[in-house]
């Protein structure tokens, strides 16, 4: 069974890196790409992905507000904040808005796949209990 993923980031280079990482893993499927928060919320509702990879800084609605809206409507969807902002204040804001995990883009290539698998495993463990 494939884990479905939606990305939300206005940086096309980031989108291409994530797409490349996911293409090499048949158990992960990229189902959509958003370039702003409003589009992320809409696509999350339409596509019902297992995981949303969400940037914080995007035009229009930022990723924190988009995360809050997605998690309030779809609590089972996992949201992983992926950002250049690695400060504790951003981590706290991500958690306060419902994010399931937080990644710094600087470590993306080594942390992306393990983090996706971890949030999915945690969600499955909660459903089993």
The CATH number of residue 38's host domain is 3.40.50.2300
Of 3-7, 18-22, 39-43, 100-104, give the lowest mean pLDDT range. 18-22
Q: How far apart are CA 80 and CA 118, in angstroms?
A: 11
| Structural domain that includes position 34 | 3-128
pLDDT of residue 93: 95
Q: How far apart are CA 31 and CA 49, in angstroms?
A: 7
Match 């994010």 to its residue by tokens: 99
Q: What is the mean pLDDT of residues 107-124?
A: 87
Domain total in the chain: 1
pLDDT of residue 109: 84
Q: How many alpha carbons lie under 13 Å from residue 61 in its C-beta half-sphere? A: 19
pLDDT of residue 129: 59
Say what the pTM is.
0.92
Q: Indicate if the pLDDT at residue 123 is higher than 90.
A: no
Q: Indicate if the pLDDT at residue 81 is higher than 80.
A: yes
Tens of pLDDT, residue by residue over 57-71, are 999 999 999 999 999
């Amino acid at each position: 069974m494939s884990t479905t993923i939606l990305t939300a980031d206005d940086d096309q280079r980031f989108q291409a890196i994530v797409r490349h990482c996911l293409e090499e893993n048949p158990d992960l499927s990229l189902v959509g790409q958003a370039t702003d928060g409003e589009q992320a919320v809409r696509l999350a509702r339409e596509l019902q992905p297992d995981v949303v990879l969400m940037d914080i800084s995007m035009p229009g609605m930022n990723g924190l507000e988009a995360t809050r809206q997605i998690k309030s409507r779809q609590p089972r969807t996992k949201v992983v904040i992926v950002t250049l902002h690695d400060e504790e204040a951003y981590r706290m804001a991500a958690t306060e808005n419902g994010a399931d995990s937080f990644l710094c883009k600087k470590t993306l290539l080594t942390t992306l796949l393990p983090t996706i698998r971890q949030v999915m495993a945690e969600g499955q463990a909660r459903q089993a209990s």
